[in-house]
Amino acid sequence: MTVDACDVTPSTCQLDANGKSRNMWPNGAPFALFLSHDVDQVYDRGFYRTLGDINHFQRLLRGKDYGNKAACWHRMGRSLLHPKGWRSQFERILKIESAYGWRSTFFFLEGNRWSRYGARYALEDPPIRELAALLINADCEIGVHGGYHDFNRAAGYRRSSERLESAFGIKPVGIRNHFLKFSYPETWQAQAEGGFLYDATFGMSDRPGFRDELMQPFIPENPQSGAPIDIVVLPLTVMDFTLFQTLGLGQEEALAALDSLLEQAKDAGGLLSLLWHNNYFDEPEYRIWEEVYVEFLRRISTCKPYCGTGAEIARWWRSRKVGG
C-alpha cells in the first residue's frame, strides 16, 4: 500500500483550470462520494445461496472463478451446519463508514423469492425488518434493488416501492436495478413514472470507470422529444465484483485501479460512486474485498469529499440545477 491517493488539498481541488471555484458540492467540497450496497443476500443459509456456493466451488476447481478453495469449502460447511447470523456483515459496514462520519445507501431486492433473479429473502421476514430498523437508526438510506424483470415497466417499480414502504415504514426514493439491467430511455421513464427521485443503475459491470465519461449526476432527456426525464441519474463508478471476480485483481492492483478513479473524480469535481455488496463483509473468503474497501475509504477521506446518501446527493443536485 504505497500509494497515497490524495496529495491535492481540498482548496486546490475546488479550482477549475482557470483557477475559479467550481462550488459544485455542499460546503465547497472538491467532489462527492456515494457509498452503496446492493442487498442481494442476507442469510448465510438458503437454497439459492447453497446452489451459488456449489457453482462457485466447482468453478474455482476448474480455475474459472477467483477465490480461495479452502475458505470456500469452509464457508459452505458453515452455512449448512452452523450458519452465522445476518447482523455482523452490516455492523461491519456501519463501523467502517461511520469512522469518517459517512452513511450509505442499501438497496433491498424486491421480487419473487423463489426465482432465479428474485430476492433471497422476504421483506416481511422479522430479521429483515430488524435489519431495516438497524440501518434507519444509523441514518442510512434504504432504496429499492429491483427491476430485473420489470426494468422498463412503471407498474413494477411502483409495486416495489409500495412493498418496501409497507414492510419498513419508509418511502424509498432511490433505485438500482439488479444486474444493472437497463435500457435507454425506457428504464428512466418507467422509474420516473414509478415515483423515484433518482436512479443508480447507470454504470459498467465489465470494467471500472465512468460510463460514457459521465462524472456528474445528470437529468437525462428523451432522445426523441428532447424533453427532460424527471429523474436524477447518479452514475455508478465501480463495484467490488468487477474488480475481484470479473477482472481477478489482487489487493494492490485493485487499489491502483481505484486510485485512478479517485484522481479522475477529483479532477472533474465529480461524483465517485461505489458499490460493495454486504455479503462479502465479515467473510474470510472475501477478506481482500473488505480490506480494499477499508483502505480505499481511508484514502478517499484524506481528500475530504462531500459524502451523502443517494437521496441527499440527488436532492442537492436537483436543487442546485433549479437554483442555477
Kindly state whether residue 290 participates in binding Zn ion, applying the rule CB under 5 A. no
**208 prior amide bond cis, ω within 30:** no
Give the nearest distance from C-beta 227 to Zn ion in angstroms.
Answer: 30
Site track 193-212 with Zn ion (rule: CB under 5 A), x = hit: --------------------
Give the nearest distance from C-beta 38 to Zn ion in angstroms.
Answer: 4
| Of residues 38 and 53, the one with the C-beta less far from Zn ion | 38
Given a contact cutoff of 8 angstroms between Cβ atoms, the answer to whether 305 and 30 are in contact is yes
- Using CB under 5 A as the binding criterion, the count of chain residues that bind Zn ion stands at 3
Give the nearest distance from C-beta 106 to Zn ion in angstroms.
Answer: 12
DSSP label at residue 15: B
Candidates 14-22, 30-38, 42-50, 86-94: pick the segment binding Zn ion (CB under 5 A): 30-38
Grid cell locating 239: 463495484
Binds Zn ion by CB under 5 A, chosen from 33, 35, 40, 187: 40
Q: Cα–Cα distance between 39 and 272 in angstroms, integer?
A: 20
With b meaning 16 or more CB within 10 Å and e meaning fewer, what string describes 176-215?
Answer: bbbebbbeebebbbbbbbbbbbbbbbbbbeeebbbeeebb
Given a contact cutoff of 8 angstroms between Cβ atoms, the answer to whether 230 and 195 are in contact is no
Binds Zn ion by CB under 5 A, chosen from 178, 239, 244, 261: 178
| Of residues 40 and 283, the one with the C-beta less far from Zn ion | 40
Candidates 40-48, 84-92, 224-232, 235-243: pick the segment binding Zn ion (CB under 5 A): 40-48
Place of cell 477521506: 301
Give the nearest distance from C-beta 116 to Zn ion in angstroms.
Answer: 12
Amino acid letter at 215?
M
Binding site for Zn ion (CB under 5 A): 38, 40, 178
